[in-house]
Structure 1
């Protein structure tokens, strides 16, 4: 149970503690931040409202701990990560319970997120040993005009203190996707979890605590973004920021200065459907891609661009599958559960009403109860409708009919976003040509967009982000190259 048994240490009364210097602490502010259950719309949990002074202390401890951690043998870092992964999986039920109550994630998906996170941590440990255990040896005479008088040895060294900020929709998985690469690379880690998802993240951090990482190496601070958000991201002690979220990331990038950034900021993932597509396969992927976790995924299908000649048939197939989706509470494992906040539901409703006013065809009746919005397919969407361009982050999917492949590519590329896209066709040549033309970080061929497997590169173009994620890319991004050059008194060549 959440906050019970082994997890009793992390809660004081009804308020969860924050984690700093290897200890679970109450904030000196005496204040807490409520976490609203999206289903009941009542306060489910409370977390500490940390102060700026407490952030300063966390940063000091992180800097000190990182120095010794960087000298810890690579195999030992990997060993502790494997241990944390096993503990995380052992406590999947308790963490999943938090996910269900904080972010209304269906129960089976919540368990899957925790297990996937454990696998990610273990894989990162193994990959880190391989990547960081190798260096480069260069000789000077490969460049014109030089004799072999210099040997260059280069290796990867840690950046220092990594600030990790995950989003509400995957507060555990997208936290460990930042934590594990940072730690294996020799960095210390400060986690600022989202408010919705903070308790899940605190339970996850406790698993790392139980694994026995050095004090101060890992911290988790909770609180109001208005009080500690900018203070964290602009803190001089931070050497790298890994952020997943929305518009806030753009503001962070403008203020961050000369530190490495890894950012994924959302998408408007387009699904282009050609005349020769397998419509049953396409419909299944559109429903899975558009409505899984109520559409609250950066890689959800956000707009369907279908050739007019097959549009009626495809819409009918999608409508039939949408009709079978279950709607209700996450505890009952329903397909469609409440969106995370009332403001999110209001935003989604605004997009729906705009489409209605401008003449979109409603394939289902629009229905909402509190934060729960029934799945809705909108046909005959036009470019003058907000839903054609804005990311709803909810169970509403627009269909736009196109008369040429070029028209679909143009709409995809006219978006400010460029995270992922997908193409459905039986012609691999067309698929590859369209993929090359789409201005997105990834294009899926005959499958819905997805982040993963977790070792695949994951990146966005334009307003969708900076840098590339995925285990290998994250390890490389959280290190820097250090070179040592040996200067010889005379040219050295291997003797025959």
Structure 2
């Protein structure tokens, strides 16, 4: 279908205890591009013994790293951010070839990651402990003071996904390091080249040997072994709800921070600015072919304005550029044929059950054309399941309460949008939605990165966002000073 994006085939090694090593088994995992299915590169398939060594060296290095002053850790992060900016062209080319993201979006992700790392350093330097006088609690006198500081947790296992292989690795690594932890990075197989390149950036910035190690290998072979390893002290995972649920079931007494799936709804009320709503919905649903946890994945629109909104959305979907990311297409081939097969199942189910196909419904290998369905009903899989692809259902509702009810019946609770010109209506809907974030008159999206970012129900555990991530990957420690008797 597409010609391969021209570039050098890359064979990477893993960073372990300050050395770049391959696996003793001499086995590699081939990484194929979603564009033309050509071989982009290879990464080592590490053995369990090699995983043990990587985690052990991280544990030993952390004992020294936690005593490095915060301002010195921050300087390393600033340098890493500067290096990311310097290498943006090279890194964006790798990203485009490995995961099929267009050049502009790839560059934006890398530059955003640099900003994230800098802001993390700034934030950590301004975090401080507290002192709590004992006499503020009934029955106690001024003879006790609690000095509260924050301590690192130890070894953080960072598991990043394919769709944002730089940003969603950096947003795990930077807060963990600045808090005094060591990190073991396990990137998604598709996305490993980007993840290992990022590790090299941190190494070049001056992260000491063992403080950041990487592991590559198929999750089916070493995934359970890593997450249940006794020397892992914290797991920071972004990925599917299915995998996240399994991690939470098989781990024991290990704190988790997880960003999982979503079925983000755009709720459009009768007094909404429909041009604004249509623009945001289409941008939110179809950029990078909808391969985003925070993509708009369904429209819940009140009957009075449904026809007009659908017309505007349809016009915009028809204008989307489809094809090769090299050409700046917004809708590109999905990450692999398995992903495309699943999206196609949802499209077929909607067709068979009577949804009105307005645009798309066409497939070429792993490329799904932007697809829009109207009159989707709640007995269709597309109303509930996360496609992770460029297909958007329109569900018509009689009023805001029915929209809230349908939105809340989802197993997911990542984000939702509400479009209305009435601030009271916006708050009415926002207060009742069971999600981590409600966007008013905007598409669902991650960021700014210092805002709290979280999911409820099957969409996640814990709260991300720069300050919140640092706090999640550290713990308070109280030292009580007793004065006199």
TM-score scaled by length of structure 2: 0.97
Q: Indicate conservation of the 8 Å contact 1:304/1:399, yes or no.
A: yes
Q: Indicate conservation of the 8 Å contact 2:360/2:372, yes or no.
A: no
Structure 2 counterparts to residues 414-425 of structure 1, below 5 A: 414-425=409-420
| Structure 1 unaligned residues grouped into runs of 5+ | 5-12, 491-496
Distance 2:207 2:377 in 1: 54
Distance 2:238 2:373 in 1: 28
> What residue is the counterpart of 2:111 in the other structure?
115
> What residue is the counterpart of 2:21 in the other structure?
25
Structure 2 counterparts to residues 416-455 of structure 1, below 5 A: 416-455=411-450
> What residue is the counterpart of 1:8 in the other structure?
none
**1:189 and 2:180 matched:** no
**1:86 and 2:82 matched:** yes
Give the one of 221, 246, 263 matched to 1:227: 221
Q: Indicate conservation of the 8 Å contact 2:360/2:370, yes or no.
A: no
> What residue is the counterpart of 2:397 in the other structure?
402
Q: Indicate conservation of the 8 Å contact 1:141/1:148, yes or no.
A: yes
> What residue is the counterpart of 1:494 in the other structure?
none
Distance 1:14 1:340 in 2: 19
Deviations 1:175-200 (A, max 9, x none): 00000000000000000000111101
> What residue is the counterpart of 1:236 in the other structure?
230
Distance 2:360 2:56 in 1: 55
Q: Indicate conservation of the 8 Å contact 1:270/1:422, yes or no.
A: yes
> What residue is the counterpart of 1:471 in the other structure?
466
Q: Indicate conservation of the 8 Å contact 2:317/2:359, yes or no.
A: no
Structure 2 counterparts to residues 16-55 of structure 1, below 5 A: 16-55=12-51
> What residue is the counterpart of 1:171 in the other structure?
165
Structure 2 counterparts to residues 117-136 of structure 1, below 5 A: 117-131=113-127, 134-136=128-130
Q: How many Å apart are 1:337 and its aligned residue?
A: 0.5
**1:260 and 2:255 matched:** yes
Distance 1:107 1:62 in 2: 34
> What residue is the counterpart of 1:489 in the other structure?
484
Quote the RMSD (CA, aligned, Å): 1.3
Q: Indicate conservation of the 8 Å contact 1:2/1:98, yes or no.
A: no
Give the one of 282, 292, 310 matched to 2:277: 282
Give the one of 443, 447, 451 matched to 1:456: 451
The more displaced of 139-148 and 372-381 is 139-148
SS at match of 1:363: strand
Q: How many Å apart are 1:139 and its aligned residue?
A: 1.5
Structure 1 runs, 4 residues or longer, greater than 3 Å off:
1-4
Distance 2:87 2:39 in 1: 24
Q: Indicate conservation of the 8 Å contact 2:144/2:482, yes or no.
A: yes
Deviations 1:51-92 (A, max 9, x none): 110111011110111111111011000000000110011101
Q: How many Å apart are 1:42 and its aligned residue?
A: 2.9
SS at match of 1:189: strand
> What residue is the counterpart of 1:58 in the other structure?
54
SS at match of 1:326: coil
Q: How many Å apart are 1:32 and its aligned residue?
A: 0.7
> What residue is the counterpart of 1:493 in the other structure?
none
Give the one of 309, 323, 347 matched to 1:352: 347
Distance 1:58 1:176 in 2: 19
Q: Indicate conservation of the 8 Å contact 2:270/2:304, yes or no.
A: yes
Q: How many Å apart are 1:2 and its aligned residue?
A: 11
SS at match of 2:257: strand
TM-score scaled by length of structure 1: 0.95
SS at match of 1:204: helix
Distance 1:207 1:235 in 2: 27
How many residue pairs get aligned? The number is 480
Q: Indicate conservation of the 8 Å contact 2:10/2:40, yes or no.
A: no
Distance 1:81 1:2 in 2: 32
The more displaced of 376-385 and 38-47 is 38-47
> What residue is the counterpart of 1:304 in the other structure?
299
The more displaced of 134-143 and 342-351 is 134-143
Distance 2:188 2:357 in 1: 34
Deviations 1:36-63 (A, max 9, x none): 2111123221110011101110111101
> What residue is the counterpart of 1:315 in the other structure?
310
> What residue is the counterpart of 1:381 in the other structure?
376
SS at match of 1:431: helix
SS at match of 2:78: helix
SS at match of 2:393: strand
Distance 2:25 2:430 in 1: 52
> What residue is the counterpart of 2:264 in the other structure?
269
Deviations 1:414-449 (A, max 9, x none): 000000000000000010110000000000000000
Distance 1:208 1:380 in 2: 50
Deviations 1:205-261 (A, max 9, x none): 111111111100001111111221111100011000000001101100112211111
Deviations 1:107-127 (A, max 9, x none): 110011111101100000000
The more displaced of 185-194 and 21-30 is 21-30
Give the one of 319, 339, 342 matched to 2:337: 342
Give the one of 140, 146, 154 matched to 1:146: 140
Structure 2 counterparts to residues 93-104 of structure 1, below 5 A: 93-104=89-100
Q: How many Å apart are 1:469 and its aligned residue?
A: 0.4
Distance 1:29 1:471 in 2: 39
Q: How many Å apart are 1:15 and its aligned residue?
A: 2.5
